[in-house]
Amino acid sequence: MKIIRNILMICFSLLIYHPLYGKCSNLQIGKMVKMGLSEEEITEVCGKPTIKSEDKPKPVVEEPKPVVEEPKPVEEDLKISDESERPYQAQIILLSSLGSGISLFYNFKNDIGFGVDSQNISASFSGTSYTHNVESNLNFSTTYLSARYYLLEIMPSFFIQGGYISRSWTIETIGTDRTITSRVSKIETKYPNNALNAGFGWNWMSNQGVSGGIHFISIVGDGPTHTYSIASGSTFDKASYETLIDENVPNSTLHLNLGYNFNF
């Protein structure tokens, strides 16, 4: 019986192969079990059991990470975004045909700002003609209440502006007769208190907050009224005087500003 068993074992080892139990299939292993072969004898014929393919560890496949798109800048981000971080602006009006002063603005949104400019200029002139000694005094005080709109994405520093003007502009001229000092003539020129402003400009700001600007502002308002008090016996060319005033008093101004932007 042992010889027959050995012969069968040799035959099985030569004729059968299956990867699940060495060289033997489940059917073949079942037949050997029915014949009474032990586990050691089956292992001797078929070899050691192999791991089933479904029991083998599967390779870890990393799933592709989702692509997160960065948000595209919206229109407000393309316009003077630095000023939105430093919305308060204080600048000095260094140069202007209507005098020096101060400019205060608040950047309400990236493209909209509100503010006030205030400037003053005064001047005096004295001279002598053949018949008269003449003295003139000029005092101009101007306050602008304005709104600015930055409208171009490709030029974020460029703006247009408009608003209200409160002004106190007066020119007083006194002429004294050289031969009769009691003979005095007086001319007073006064502009309306209310006017409008419209203009455009450029306003820049560095990363440190230092800012500057060039602003062109047109003053829209009525012309002046003239009050004449001419001494008897004196002559005065009113038309020439009024033409001289219209030609020399500006109805527009160019501001050169320098200052700083900040946040509380």
Shared domain for 251 and 172, answered yes or no, is yes
What's 258's domain CATH number? 2.40.160.170
Answer whether residue 68 is part of any domain. no
Shared domain for 117 and 29, answered yes or no, is no
Q: What is the token pair recorded at 76? A: 């407000």
- Expressed as residue numbers, the domain containing 44 is 2-52
Answer whether residue 67 is part of any domain. no
The per-residue pLDDT for 50 is 55
Q: What is the token pair recorded at 35? A: 């014949």
SS3 category, 110: coil
Shared domain for 190 and 248, answered yes or no, is yes
The per-residue pLDDT for 28 is 75
Shared domain for 26 and 98, answered yes or no, is no
Answer whether residue 58 is part of any domain. no
Shared domain for 81 and 47, answered yes or no, is no
Q: What is the token pair recorded at 128? A: 């002598």
Question: What 8-state DSSP symbol labels residue 49?
Answer: P
Percentage of residues in the chain with pLDDT exceeding 70? 77
Answer whether residue 93 is part of any domain. yes
For the chain, the domain total comes to 2
Answer whether residue 212 is part of any domain. yes
The per-residue pLDDT for 88 is 96
The per-residue pLDDT for 39 is 74
Question: What 8-state DSSP symbol labels residue 21?
Answer: B
Shared domain for 46 and 80, answered yes or no, is no
Task: Report the predicted TM-score, pTM, of the whole model to 2 decimal places.
Answer: 0.67
C-alpha distances in Å from residue 36, one per residue of 14, 15, 99, 134, 251: 19, 19, 120, 144, 121
Answer whether residue 103 is part of any domain. yes
Answer whether residue 66 is part of any domain. no
Shared domain for 216 and 176, answered yes or no, is yes
Rg of the Cα atoms in the chain: 49
Q: What is the mean pLDDT for each group of 10 consecutive residues in the chain (264 residues)?
A: 48 45 68 74 70 52 65 48 77 96 91 96 92 94 96 86 98 93 94 98 94 97 96 90 95 97 90
Shared domain for 95 and 36, answered yes or no, is no
Strands 112-128 and 132-149: antiparallel
Shared domain for 156 and 46, answered yes or no, is no
pLDDT tens string 54-101: 445 556 666 666 666 665 555 444 444 455 688 999 999 999 999 999
